[in-house]
A = this chain, B = another copy of it.
Amino acid sequence: MAVDPKDVLRDAAALLTRRATASMDDIAKAAGISRATLHRHFAGRDALIRALEELGIERFEAALDTAHIEEGDAVEALRRLVGAIQPVSGFLAFLYSENQLFEGAEINTGWARLDARITALFRRGQEQGKFRIDLTPVWLTEAMYGLMASAAWGVYDGRLAAKDVEYMVLELLLGGARRGSGDA
């Protein structure tokens, strides 16, 4: 009968990924607990969102670790990264837009650390001569987020097939749309 906060977060993440404006009541229902209990575990909506960010950061970081993005060829590392992120991309897309849309909310500094790792990946790729140097690592990082979110939303809305997404995000990011770039 004891409620595991992890489970509540999981359910909240799943719901908010689908409907970003869900109320505390909706979230409580989705988690199968009462509103009061939800408040007992997360003191207020802000606290819940912050906890969700922590969860997102944790999952994101796990993906980065799994992908060993600091090791080996940057292109290969990016491949591994996109593959590893895929399963949580919907949730991350929610957090990404949440952070963009709700100004004023303190943005969890945990993201900065992850941003830095990804930016470093692109920078390493540039130093290895694998990535273009006219596109800044910061922009490539941002672009990866944007493509990931677009893909997640496209899948969610039925415009894209889930199985294709990984390939498409990666290929576009690596080689762009132009023929002779990435399809050689």
A138 at the interface (CB under 8 A from B): yes
Which residues of the other chain, B, contact A176 by a CB distance below 8 angstroms? Answer: 171-177, 181-182
Report the copy number of this chain in the oligomer. Answer: 4
By a CB distance below 8 angstroms, the chain B residues around A129 are: 179
Which residues in window 98-122 of A have CB below 8 A to B?
Answer: 100-104, 122
Chain A contact patch, size range: 35 or more
B-contacting residues, A135-173, CB 8 Å: 135-136, 138-140, 142-143, 145-147, 149-151, 153-154, 156-157, 159-160, 164, 167-168, 171-173
Residues of B contacting A103 in the complex (Cβ-Cβ under 8 angstroms):
18-19
Does A66 interact with chain B (Cβ within 8 Å)? Answer: no
**A132 on the interface (CB 8 Å rule)?**
yes
From known contacts A102-B21, A135-B177, infer whether A143 and B159 are also in contact, taking CB-CB under 8 Å: no
Nearest first, the 9 A-B pairs at minimum CB distance are A146-B150, A176-B176, A181-B181, A175-B176, A146-B146, A20-B101, A132-B183, A100-B153, A142-B154
Q: A149-B150, A171-B176 are in contact. List 16 more A-B contacts (CB 8 A).
A: A100-B153, A122-B177, A132-B177, A132-B181, A138-B160, A139-B164, A139-B172, A140-B177, A143-B150, A146-B146, A146-B149, A146-B150, A147-B150, A149-B149, A175-B176, A175-B178
